[in-house]
Amino acid sequence: MVVPAYNEAATIVESVRSMLALNYPDQEIVVVNDGSSDATLDRLREAFALRPVDAEVPYDVPSEPIRGVYRSATHEDLLVVDKENGGKSDSLNAGVWLTDQELFCAVDADTLVDRDALLDVVAPFLEDPSRTVASGGTIRVANECVVQDGQVKEVNLPKTELAGVQVMEYLRAFYSGRLGLARLKGLILISGAFGVFRTDRVREIGGYRHDTITEDFDVVVRLHRHLADADVDYRIEFVPEPVAWTEVPESLASLGRQRRRWYRGMIETVVASRRMFFRRRYGRVGSVVLPFFTAAEALGPLIEGLDYVLLPLGWYLGILNVEFFLTFLLLTVGVEVFLSWFGVFSEVWSYNRYESPRDVLRLLWYGVLENFGYRQWKTIVAWHGLVEFLRGERSWGAMERSGFGTDAEPAATDAAAGAAASAETAGSRAETGASASGFVWVDRLVDAPATDGVRWLDRVAGDGTPGRFAPVVYPTVGVGEGGFVWTADFGDGDDDDGGFVWTTDPSLGAGDGGFALVRDGEDGVRVTATTDFADAVGGGGFVWTADPPLGAGDGGFVWVRDFDVGAGDAGFVWVVEAAERAADGA
C-alpha cells in the first residue's frame, strides 16, 4: 500500500492505523512523506516508533532524492520514506519502485479503508490473474463519522448541506457512473484514494507522470493505450463492495479549488489521449467512452454555463420558445435526479450504511436541491478551471483538514486560516516557478545538517522550489517554553550563516536589531535584518522581546516602530493554544 503524504498531519495517524488493521495476509504499508512542512513525519514517529533503516536504497528510484527510510519498531510491515518534495505522482513512483510486491494499492493519506476492503478489491486479480491489471473500489464521505482505531464505527451524514450534497454526488458517481462504465468494459478512472494495480504494468508505462495534477485518471487511460497498442488482452475492473472513506471540503472556497483542479486535470488527460478518439484499436474506450466522457464531463458544463447567459437574452429578444425550454429543462433535471436517486437507492438496498430513514430522505432531497444553485455554481467552476488550464496553472490548491472522528485535533482558527490563504498564494507562486523567497522550516539546514530551525531561503534546500511560510494545522505542534530568535551561529562557526532557532533563552539572540520589510526594486519587497527602521516599509519592523503582554512562554516577535520600545499593544506572538490566540486577538 503506497501512501503519498504531504502536510497530512491532521489525518495521517488514523489513516495508517486503518491500514494496519486491514484483514489481509501479505501486506506492506509504504508511507511516502513528500517533503511535508507540517508535523506529518513527527506524528508518524511518535505514533509508530519509527527507527532509521541504515541500509542504502538498493537501486535508482525515479523520484526526488530520498532523505531517509524508517521502519516501525511496533509494526514491522510499516515503512516510511522521507523524500524531498516532488508532488503526488513523484511520491507514488517512489513507493512503486521501492516495493517487490506484485500488486500495489494507491491510497490517499486522508483515507480510511474498511477492514475487509483490500480483500474485496483484489478479487478480480484472484479470478483472472493473467488479464487483470487494475481494480478500484468505492469512495465514501467520512465527515461527521465516528472513527475509532482507524476504522469507521458509526456512519453519519454530514450536518452541512454542502458536504451532504457531496455524499450524494459520490454515491451517484460510483454506483451509477463507475459501475456502468465497468459493465461496458470501458472504465477509464480509478480513484486515486483507493485503487489496486499490477506493479509491473505500471512500471512498463514509466510510472505516474509528473506533469499532470490528476494522476489517477491519467495512469488508467495510459494503461488502456499501452496494453491496446501491445495487443494484450486485459481487464480493468470496478468492485462496488470495498469502501474507503475520505474527508470532503466543507467550504465553497476549498471545494472550488478541488473541483477546478479536477477539471484542469481532466482536460490535460483528454488532450494527451486525443489520438485514441474514434479509433477501433482501442475498443470501446476509444470508440465510445472517451468521446462520450469528454462531451459530458468536459464540454457539458461549459455549454450549460453559456446557456445561462444566452437564455435570458433569448427571452428578452423574444426568440426563446419557452415551452420547449421548460420541457427540455424538466427532462435534463429529471435525468439528473434519477441518476442521483439510483445511486442512493443502490446504497440503501445493497449496503444500508445510512440506517436512519431521515438521512436517506435528506440524500434524496439533495439529489433535487443540487439542481438549483449548486449545479450552476459548478458551471462557473468549470469555466474558471478552463481559464486556469489555458493560463498554464499548475497549482494543487490547499485543502483544510479537520481530522477523523472524536480524536481529531482542534481546527485552525480564523487567523490561522488567513495565514493558510497567504501561504497558498505563496505556494502557487512556488509551483509556477516564481523566483520568490520566504521563511521555511527545515529539518536539515544545508550548512549545519544536525540543526533544525526556520531560515530565510531563496530556494528550499535541495528541491529547487521557492520558499514560503507554510502554516500547520495544529497550533500546539512544537510549542514549548520558548520562541524563535535570530542567531548568526548554527554550530559551524560561520558568521555569515544566520537563522531563526528555537530557544528558551531570548538573550541568545543576535544584536539589538530586528527584521523589517524593505523594497527590492520597483515591485518587490524582502525581509532584511536591520538596526534602522527608517528605510522599512511602513516605518517599523519585527523585534524579539522577552515580555510580550499576550504571548506564551519566554518571548515572541512583536511589531514596533522603535527598537527601544520592544513590545506594543499588538503584534505577532507565539501562543500555546488556538483558543488563546482567538481570545487574545494576537
Q: Answer whether 529's CB lies under 8 Å from 513's CB.
A: yes
Mean pLDDT of 344-361: 86
Report the percent of the chain where pLDDT is more than 70.
67
pLDDT at site 306: 93
| 30 within some domain | no
Residue 448 above 80 pLDDT?
no
- 3-state DSSP of 72-112: ECCCCCEEEEEECCCCHHHHHHHHHHHCCCCEEEEECCCEE
pLDDT at site 383: 95
Type of residue numbered 182: A
More confident residue, 221 or 416: 221
| 67 within some domain | no
| 236 within some domain | yes
Sign of the alpha-carbon torsion through 373, 360, 141, 402: positive
| 89 within some domain | no
Residue 362 above 70 pLDDT?
yes
Q: In total, how many domains does the chain have?
A: 1
Ranges of H-type helices in 278-435: 283-284, 290-293, 300-317, 322-350, 357-369, 374-391, 414-431
Q: What pTM was estimated for this model as a whole? A: 0.66
Report the run of H or E that residue 270 belongs to, with start and end: helix 252-272
Residue 560 above 80 pLDDT?
no
Q: What is the pLDDT of residues 367-402, one digit of tens each?
A: 999 998 999 999 999 999 999 999 988 776 555 555
User: What DSSP designation does 10 have?
Assistant: T
- 3-state DSSP of 459-525: CCCCCCCCCCCCCCCCCCCCCCCCEEEEECCCCCCCCCCCEEEEECCHHHCCCCCEEEEEEECCCEE
Q: What range defines the domain where residue 196 resides?
A: 102-391
Q: What is the pLDDT of residues 264-321, one digit of tens each?
A: 999 999 999 999 999 989 999 999 999 999 999 999 999 999 999 999 999 999 899 9
Backbone angles phi, psi at 570, to 5 degrees: -155, 165
Q: How far apart are CA 96 and CA 106, in angstroms?
A: 9
Q: For residues 485-504, b (16+ Cβ closer than 10 Å) or e, as one string?
A: bbbebbeeeeeebbbbbebe
Q: How far apart are CA 279 and CA 474, in angstroms?
A: 52
| 456 within some domain | no
Distances (CA, A) of 170 to 11, 120, 173, 402, 532: 20, 19, 5, 20, 58
Q: How far apart are CA 130 and CA 213, in angstroms?
A: 30
Query: Residue 334: pLDDT band by 50, 70, 90 thresholds?
Result: very high
| 129 within some domain | yes
At residue 433, the 3 state secondary structure works out as: coil
| Residue 525: all three cell numbers together | 519587497
Q: Answer whether 113's CB lies under 8 Å from 194's CB.
A: yes
β-pair partners for 235:
132
Closest CA to 174 of 153, 200, 195: 195
| 443 within some domain | no
Residue 46 above 80 pLDDT?
yes
Q: Answer whether 202's CB lies under 8 Å from 93's CB.
A: no
Residue 254 above 70 pLDDT?
yes
Q: How far apart are CA 568 and CA 556, in angstroms?
A: 12
Q: For residues 56-77, b (16+ Cβ closer than 10 Å) or e, as one string?
A: eeeeebebbebeebbbbeebee
β-pair partners for 503:
483
Q: How far apart are CA 311 and CA 316, in angstroms?
A: 9
More confident residue, 492 or 383: 383
Q: How far apart are CA 156 and CA 167, in angstroms?
A: 11
Q: How far apart are CA 535 and CA 239, in angstroms?
A: 65
Query: Residue 106: pLDDT band by 50, 70, 90 thresholds?
Result: very high
Q: How far apart are CA 96 and CA 30, in angstroms?
A: 9
Q: For strand 29-34 and strand 2-5, is the pairing parallel, antiparallel, or unpaired?
A: parallel
Backbone angles phi, psi at 514, to 5 degrees: -155, -160
Closest CA to 203 of 304, 94, 51: 94
At residue 310, the 3 state secondary structure works out as: helix
Q: Answer whether 586's CB lies under 8 Å from 419's CB.
A: no
Q: What is the pLDDT of residues 136-148, one digit of tens each?
A: 999 999 888 888 7
Query: Residue 59: pLDDT band by 50, 70, 90 thresholds?
Result: low
Closest CA to 439 of 427, 422, 456: 456
Type of residue numbered 455: R
User: What DSSP designation does 278 have?
Assistant: T
| 160 within some domain | yes
| Residue 457: all three cell numbers together | 531561503
At residue 455, the 3 state secondary structure works out as: strand
Distance, C-alpha 292 to centroid of its chain:
28
